[in-house]
Chains A and B, each alone.
Chain A
Amino acid sequence: EPEVTQTPSHQVTQMGQEVILRCVPISNHLYFYWYRQILGQKVEFLVSFYNNEISEKSEIFDDQFSVERPDGSNFTLKIRSTKLEDSAMYFCASIREWSDTQYFGPGTRLTVL
């Protein structure tokens, strides 16, 4: 069964550095999402992406964040200048159709020092 994949599994960075988290959604899926989970807290929606543009974003997704689908397979989340509070697990998800349930990747653990 096809799966959403994410790289790296763990990323350690210094405060103020830029990071790019990568996701490969399931190949025929059209809608893409990023969520994050700070340790001990709930999973929170960040952004959804469809047809090469952001379709919805949360208040967390400020100017420090951006998403891109640079080619036909990857979906990336960039954090321009990381802060300590960006330390979290970041999950990518994808669906083919609006009514589908979301398939999640294994997550990338981001640690900002």
Chain B
Amino acid sequence: AQRVTQPEKLLSVFKGAPVELKCNYSYSGSPELFWYVQYSRQRLQLLLRHISRESIKGFTADLNKGETSFHLKKPFAQEEDSAMYYCALKRTSGSRLTFGEGTQLTVNP
């Protein structure tokens, strides 16, 4: 069975500091990995998917199959980045998403 782990429930950084939100997964096949963001009182929104290799709002994430990780990084955090971030996995068979526990990021002024 697949599993996604986000080891940090809470992460607090200062504006302008680098930020890294960790995500590890376990799955025997070739998964597709996503980062979703949920701003206060808003819906889950897609931030990144690993196959598109984009940078959105300054965030990047690289799939490391050797370490089974998909950490989310941003070199200079902004206050508006404060939100809940969820890492999610989709298996090669089926389209359901398996989510991690989420990391609440707070960017302090």
Contacts and interface: CB of A to CB of B under 8 A. Distances in A.
B26 to A, nearest CB: 15
Given A41-B101, A43-B86, A48 B95 contact: yes
A56 B43 contact: no
Interface string A65-97: 000000000000000000000000001000100
Range of interface residues on B (Cβ < 8 Å): 10 to 19
A31 B97 CA distance: 13
B44 A45 contact: no
Interface residues of A, number: 24
B43 A45 contact: no
B100 A31 contact: no
Nearest to A43: B99
Contact of A102 (B97, B98, B101, B102): B97
B44 A91 contact: yes
B40 to A, nearest CB: 12
A31 B46 CA distance: 17
Give the most central of B43, B45, B49: most A CB within 10 Å. Answer: B43
B94 interface: yes
B34 interface: yes
22 contacts: A3-B43, A4-B43, A33-B96, A35-B97, A41-B101, A43-B86, A43-B88, A43-B99, A44-B99, A45-B97, A48-B95, A55-B95, A56-B95, A98-B95, A101-B34, A101-B46, A102-B97, A103-B46, A104-B44, A106-B42, A106-B43, A107-B43
